[in-house]
Amino acid sequence: MTEENQCGPETDSDFFYELRAVFDKYPDAAQTYSIHCRTLESDIMRIDLERQVGVSRIEGNQIITEFRDSDDAPHGHCCEWVYTGTGSHGWTCVRQCLK
């Protein structure tokens, strides 16, 4: 793959500046969460996160993620959310993690 991600602090500097303030305010949470650019999934792999969910499992020293229709996906615990502004808290689970 030769395409480069067009996201990150260099591209979205205002957004990352604001996130930095949040991570500084909540240093314990900053050790738990990270920022993920979804260009690979949405633009390159054409995953539709409105109807599909990632399902991740551990195999040896790898994390394997497959994308499945939300209705057919096994239920693990949610380990990745996107902000949609809808629902009870505004966040939607887009990846389930299996043990």
SS (HEC) of the chain? CCCCCCCCCCCCHHHHHHHHHHHHHCHHHHCCCCCCCCHHHHHHCCCCCCCEEEEEEEECCEEEEEEEEHHHCCCCEEEEEEECCCCCCCEEEEEEECC
What is the predicted pLDDT for the residue at 63?
93
One pLDDT digit (tens) per residue for the chain, 99 residues: 445 658 899 999 999 999 999 999 999 998 999 998 888 888 889 999 888 989 999 999 999 999 998 888 777 788 898 888 887 788 888 889 987
What is the predicted pLDDT for the residue at 18?
94
What number of CA atoms fall less than 13 Å from residue 85's CA on the CB side? 0
For the beta sheet containing 91-97, the strands, ordered from the edge strand earlier in sequence to the opposite edge, are 62-69, 52-59, 91-97, 77-83
Taking a C-beta distance cutoff of 8 angstroms, is the pair 95, 78 a contact? yes
Q: Provide the residue ranges of all domains of the chain, joining segments of one domain with +.
A: 1-35, 38-97
Query: What is the spatial distance between Cα 46 and Cα 42, in angstroms, rounded to a whole number?
Result: 5
